[in-house]
Structure 1
């Protein structure tokens, strides 16, 4: 995990690093040819003027963009301590500015974390779904997933409900969403019920080897007051605190995550929901990365038809690296991985999106400054990628959180967190 298990769970909203993000249009020479698509980054104005962090970005089925974020509730006592936090969102339709921000929920008992962030999602029936993390106590690392739905474009939201077992102590998070039909939502998450059953809670017990493992679970929710209609255990031994991701193939939804096998091997795995049952977990690639702790650097996935692309972070060869691999059979088998970026400067925290016949992969690097970078591959991963700098950040380390990438038509957008005057702020870029 680096630093300590306690440091992992520190909220990003209190970070104090000064700086200002800057977008750049300087591409890196490569063999991508004359195709100029997705080779230029320009600043994207966002509808967030206050201090904010933990952004989410989603491409809606209706062609609009959805942006979500967390911001502190105003401090009534004037002592600099927020009275709570709120989850807000805005929508941008093609050719129009962002809508005025709306609040999804707010509270004074939320669990905030730089890597385990809320998500906002739109289904084809027009419904919006969102989640955040709420402290459930008594331990500091007892927290759960609150899920809500809106059927009126976010004007009102359903009563929040915990996705996991109400009386289950420990941590539950690192959520992924996918459409399970027009009006049903699929959700996967990491669940600590096995650790709780063994008398362990939080990442301080058994996180660095030994002890009961975390598990990956999934469920389907549907209805205007959403109810859980199915739930499954997908893998009984996973990394404690790496992000998960999901996509939909013609053969069913796939979920990618970081596994944890004997000898503390922490490679990327994939499962698929097909004909009402989940496949046995399999490695995307057997990197053989032995890591006696959670790297907080999960995989990302995209799919079209039965073609699946997965990008992930590893140090299996001794140096930090982001890799990508392609499957043509809905994730049953993957070709040899291709290096996206490699070297001691690579932080990872990958993102991925499909853009026509291109695959876009974003990641973070850090030397004397931190940079957000983007690689444009052809869909078959055959040609060397075109690479460009999206932004140079003032923040260092974890303060930039997990950048988000999404595509609508011939436009890609990225959002991330930087820090200005000691406070987190959101920044964005359009890539054309």
Structure 2
């Protein structure tokens, strides 16, 4: 499992920088006509310098889009940066640096996340390498009260002090001025190894855990909770706010190594028991580094994921109308040897959106499809971009939707150097 994680990190961290991408509004003059429907792909130029990778994209109050990324330039320390965008005014400022340093982990699979809360604060999570361990790192959390001009408080989300992996986090607003965070935590693996046990056997002893906590405006922590004591080691997690509370999606890990997608919900001060979104029955001995995505509007939730259940690589989406208590049978969005997965989903009032990656002999392709709100029919399918990046170098594309359309950000490669790209898909 760890070798897969390490390869993903190495593949994502080999880029250097040489040039600057201009910061501007989306280029509405160069839409790519799509013959399959009434939405078109428009270039959305991002203000990230060459060498940038690992984007995160989220919606905030005031019709703002928050974009973060990691920048790796040859001879310089890694920098975590972000910028704010509105469709009416374009980019609101030059990119701002949140953190910089050699210990800031640059990993295209396990990326930083940015979140705006209703009080106007911005929260950010990233990975910080531990000096006492070659492979250990902490999940770090910071908060800004002034729109990202300063980040005065920083704290470790995990408080075990162990040189193991703590990452693949996801954030949600737990109130007007506090956030919740869930992450994958390797402390039980460390304890099992110290005792000479085989990690991951039996009741979950020694397995990667899914843990969660909440932090207030002063970064005061709540009580750590173990949401699931045995999960896949290095698949992304995701969360969406439903009418019944946050719904957390992740790749579970059964004793027989079946690694299907599960969800659980935080309600009345506790996490529910995990429930499988669908019994794909994908049994694999290694972590696929390919986690699920979830989006919600009220009590309607859609989960998207990659699986090789039945021996066929496929991207699936499934819908719940009761905030994740139960899901309808999944819809197969795409299947076959070319499907890479790395899925993201979004919902708006008119449709459900899903994006994913394919790779064949001609290269990688970033795909996007939109479905009727109940997933009963596909409304449109399109190629967003053809990538020069290969393998894990493209990371996981990010997708959000608002009244303007669907916004995407992803990592590509130009002459071997990482580059962030963006698009708006709109009428």
In structure 2, the residue matched to 1:76 is: none
2:271 aligned with 1:278, yes or no? yes
Unmatched 5+ residue regions in structure 1? 17-22, 30-34, 74-79
Count of residue correspondences: 410
In structure 1, the residue matched to 2:340 is: 347
User: What RMSD in Å do the two structures reach over aligned CA positions?
Assistant: 2.4
Q: Distance in 1 between matches of 2:205 and 2:214?
A: 30
Task: Give how far 1:269 is off.
Answer: 0.4
- SS of 1:183's partner is coil
Task: Give how far 1:15 is off.
Answer: 4.3
| Alpha-carbon displacement from aligned partner over 1:84-107 (angstroms, at most 9, x marks no partner) | 211111111231121211111111
| Alpha-carbon displacement from aligned partner over 1:346-374 (angstroms, at most 9, x marks no partner) | 00000111122200000000012100000
2:103/2:128 contact within 8 Å kept: yes
In structure 2, the residue matched to 1:154 is: 148
2:138/2:158 contact within 8 Å kept: yes
Task: Give how far 1:10 is off.
Answer: 1.2
In structure 1, the residue matched to 2:50 is: 50
1:207/1:294 contact within 8 Å kept: no
In structure 2, the residue matched to 1:32 is: none
Task: Give how far 1:384 is off.
Answer: 2.7
Q: 2:193 aligns with which of 180, 184, 199?
A: 199
- SS of 2:222's partner is strand
Q: 2:244 aligns with which of 242, 251, 265?
A: 251
Q: Distance in 2 between matches of 1:118 and 1:178?
A: 14
Q: Distance in 1 between matches of 2:159 and 2:179?
A: 18
Q: Distance in 2 between matches of 1:237 and 1:212?
A: 8
In structure 1, the residue matched to 2:32 is: 25
Counterparts of residues 308-387 of structure 1 (less than 5 Å): 308-367=301-360, 368-387=362-381
In structure 2, the residue matched to 1:428 is: 422
Q: Distance in 2 between matches of 1:263 and 1:15?
A: 38
2:59 aligned with 1:65, yes or no? no
TM-score by length of 2: 0.91
Evaluate the alpha carbon distance shift between residue 11 and residue 139 of structure 1 in structure 2; reply closer, same or farther with a 3 A threshold: farther
1:257/1:270 contact within 8 Å kept: yes
Q: Which segments of structure 1 move beyond 6 Å, counting only runs of 4 or more?
A: 207-211
In structure 2, the residue matched to 1:77 is: none
- SS of 1:92's partner is strand
Evaluate the alpha carbon distance shift between residue 3 and residue 228 of structure 1 in structure 2; reply closer, same or farther with a 3 A threshold: closer
2:238/2:248 contact within 8 Å kept: yes
Q: 2:114 aligns with which of 115, 120, 137?
A: 120
